[in-house]
Amino acid sequence: MREYVLTLLVTAAVTYMLTPLVRWVAIKFGAVIPARDRDVHAAPIPRMGGLAMYLGVAAGLLAAHEMVPLRDAFPGSGPIFGLLGAGGLIVAIGIIDDRWGMSAIGKLIGQVVAAVILFASGAQLSTFPGPNKEVFILTRNESIVLTILVVVATINAVNFIDGLDGLAGGIVFISAISFFAYYYSLVKVAQLPAMASPALAAIVLAGSCLGFLPHNFFPSRIFMGDTGSMLLGLLLAYVPIQAISQLDWASLNNEANRYAEILPLLLPAAVLVIPYFDMLRAVVRRTRAGLSPLAADRKHLHHRLLEIGHSHRASVLILYAWAALFSAAVVALSLVTVPLAVLLLTTLAAILLLALLSMPKLRWWERAKEVARRPAPDLARQPAPELAPVLAAPDPDLPVSPAPVSPAPAPAARPDPQRGDMLFRPIEPTPVHPIDATMPMPAAKTPAASTPGASTPGASTPAARASGRVVP
């Protein structure tokens, strides 16, 4: 265990110390993209932080190679070179995308090539457990297609959740620790030395995330960019693939693995449930809208948490809790010896608690407090409902006051052409044409009775005086 902890610390320290340097390089290199509509930050922030994570991973693998207990973790140098080669390709593609941008097809081709490199180095999905302790073996073509599919899907799943400061790094860190806890138990308890290589890859992945998070947590000073998100997705896919490719299914029936047939496959699914679920929602949502599955939007899980009222940090911590819950529940099936019913009830209680934390609409006690804090209506000032129409109707016996007439605007001024100075004189009003005598005039109506406020026939109204006309 001490060797793994030391490897974790070396990877985290190198990543942490190199991140400020990578930030400076990103600014000089121009890998600073202005905030977009789907982003949650307002100021431009440098990207390309995945380069520091890649260098930290390389330093961690080099340190592990110098430790005698971990020197033989990988069967030969092929897996290490394959992992670093595939990671280097992904980092190069990410740097190009963070600086100049790259089409989705170009990135997809690079991801497929990186998956082929991993397959050639020995990380292959070729065997699976079957019923009655049988082993289902895939053909080479089926194995390479399935391996590429898992690698590409995991890379894009991690890339999709990289939308808030520290979100992708924290979830991958939790996933890597869960992988390490399971595979390390297989090494020590089940006596499976072949599981040392996925355990080492998991602890190196966790160290790179741990060293980068202090710079990336809200408020972030640098983003990992596609350089980091694709690298984390590649490493996160490599860990279970490397484990399954070297796993002896017949040797798992012991106290360290109560559900030996399903746990090696269930653990990756539980660890990656949040990235995969968010990716599947995005693909279905965009496809139904007639868009590309890789088109960006603001409808991911972290965006939903922000919309319902959670703060930036609260949204990230809630997703951390969900990832930890799913991962711990599956790992506990193997490591914890409590009865299954107790473990199931504990998991359900944790799910209920997290649901209450995630969705404010489910908190009935807060809704009751909000209703209690609302001011009571003043019934003394409000009329009864049956009297509202009567009070709103006008009284026909009361005189109607004429509408106020706004005063006529002052005449504009213009220069006097007959004088040389800059004195001005008012503009004469436009003359009114006389009324044509041949035009028929309507007969004047004499009011039956004079009422207060009524105008006298023949008097000039304010509107008429303002316009220069006299009402007959």
Q: What is the pLDDT of residues 212-235, one digit of tens each?
A: 999 998 888 999 999 999 999 999
d(CA 383, CA 221): 59
Distances (CA, A) of 410 to 422, 433, 434: 20, 22, 24
Query: How far apart, in whole angstroms, are the C-alpha atoms of residue 359 and residue 107?
Result: 36
Q: In whole angstroms, give the CA distance from residue 186 to residue 189.
A: 6
State pLDDT tens for residues 232-290.
999 999 999 988 888 776 666 555 555 555 666 777 777 777 777 778 888 888 888 88
SS3 41: coil
Most confidently predicted of 187-191, 243-247, 397-401? 243-247
When pLDDT is cut at 50, 70 and 90, the band that residue 470 belongs to is very low
- φ, ψ (nearest 5 deg) of residue 136: -95, 120
pLDDT above 70 covers a percentage of the chain that reads 65
What pLDDT score does 451 carry? 45
Burial of 352 (0-12, 13-18, 19+ CB in 10 A): exposed
Residue of 29 and 247 predicted with greater confidence: 29
- Local structure of residue 35 (DSSP, 8 states): P
> Where are the extended beta strands (E) located within 23-182?
32-33, 45-46, 127-129, 135-137
Between CA 54 and CA 60 the distance in angstroms is 10
> What pLDDT is stored for residue 459 in this prediction?
46
Which pLDDT score is estimated for 427? 52
Residue with tokens 């660890």: 271
- Compute the chain's Rg from CA coordinates: 38
Q: Do residues 154 and 233 make contact, with C-beta atoms less than 8 angstroms apart?
A: yes
pTM exceeds 0.75:
no
* pLDDT tens digits, one per residue of 443-455: 555 555 444 444 4
What pLDDT shows up at residue 336?
Answer: 67
Q: What is the pLDDT of residue 445?
A: 52
Of 127 and 152, the structure prediction assigns the larger pLDDT to 152
Cα gap 64→197, rounded to integer Å: 11
User: Which range has the top average pLDDT, 165-174, 303-312, 400-409?
Assistant: 165-174
Of 34 and 86, more confident? 86
Q: Which amino acid is at 73?
A: A
Beta-carbon contacts of residue 429 (< 8 Å; ≥ 6 apart): 411, 468
Of 240 and 378, the structure prediction assigns the larger pLDDT to 240
Residue 390 has pLDDT above 90, yes or no: no
Residue 281, judged by CB atoms within 10 A of its CB (0-12, 13-18, 19+), counts as middle
DSSP-assigned letters across all residues of 143-211: HHHHHHHHHHHHHHHHHHHTTSTTHHHHHHHHHHHHHHHHHHHHHHTS--GGGHHHHHHHHHHHHHHHH
Question: How confident is the model over 59-71, as a mean pLDDT?
Answer: 89
- pLDDT for 145 equals 94
Split at pLDDT 50, 70, 90, the class of 358 is: low
Q: What pLDDT does 79 receive?
A: 86
Is pLDDT of 293 > 80?
A: no
Distance CA 271, CA 333 (A): 14
* pLDDT tens profile 103-120: 989 999 999 999 999 999
pLDDT of res. 72:
78
Q: Of residues 331 and 333, which shows the higher confidence score? A: 331
Residue count (the chain): 472
